[in-house]
């Protein structure tokens, strides 16, 4: 981001993010949804309260509609799934309000999106195959076969 004219400050926790956004609220912020000690959405709220004109992009490895809606409702400018290209982040930060983002250069395949969703539910269920299969409404053996395979590109 330095090559693109930004001066990044790396923070790794909600507490550090809240303190930084209270003391010196930045004009641009890229905030991860999951931080060491909680949700990045808490940092978005503090930043929005302290600087109404801030441009905020939320990044997540678990793209879900519910969290995207929550992020935008509390003040995020955009919401991007990881891995996010630096160009995509820059475009999201500098886009004018109302501009539609360009389509992604290298979107994830449908198989990869499906696999990441399954993996996310699996992790949220404490890596319990039976519980994950029940929540995904699929047979346990089918889920085991999917999890045993390599992740698609």
Nearest of 38, 9, 37, 3 to residue 25 by alpha carbon: 9
Query: Against a cut of 0.85, is the pTM above it?
Result: no
Report whether 59 contacts 30 (CB < 8 A): yes
State pLDDT tens for residues 11-39: 888 899 899 989 999 989 998 888 888 88
- Measured CA to CA, the distance from residue 13 to residue 132 in angstroms comes to 29
CA 53/CA 27 separation, integer angstroms: 7
- Sign, CA dihedral 27-18-77-49, equals negative
pLDDT digits (tens, 9 = 90+) for 58-101: 888 766 677 777 888 888 888 888 777 888 888 888 887 666 66
Residue 34 half-sphere exposure toward CB, CA atoms < 13 A: 8
| Domains of the chain as residue ranges with CATH | 2-94 (3.40.50.2300), 110-148 (1.10.10)
Tokens 């319990």 belong to residue: 128
Cα end-to-end span (Å), the chain? 26
d(CA 135, CA 12): 32
């Amino acid at each position: 981001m330095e090559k693109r004219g930004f001066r990044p400050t790396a923070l790794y926790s909600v507490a550090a993010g809240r303190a930084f956004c209270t003391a010196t609220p930045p004009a641009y912020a890229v905030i991860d949804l999951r931080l060491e000690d909680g949700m990045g959405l808490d940092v978005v709220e503090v930043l929005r309260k302290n600087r109404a004109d801030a441009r905020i992009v939320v990044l997540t490895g678990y793209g879900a509609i519910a969290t995207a809606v929550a992020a935008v409702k509390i003040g995020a400018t955009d919401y991007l799934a990881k891995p996010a290209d630096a160009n995509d982040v820059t475009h999201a930060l500098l886009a004018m309000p109302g501009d539609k983002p360009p389509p992604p250069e290298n979107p994830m395949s449908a198989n990869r999106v499906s696999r990441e969703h399954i993996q996310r539910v699996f992790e949220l269920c404490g890596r319990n195959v039976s519980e994950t299969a029940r929540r995904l409404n699929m047979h346990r053996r089918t889920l085991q076969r999917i999890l045993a395979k390599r992740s698609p590109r």
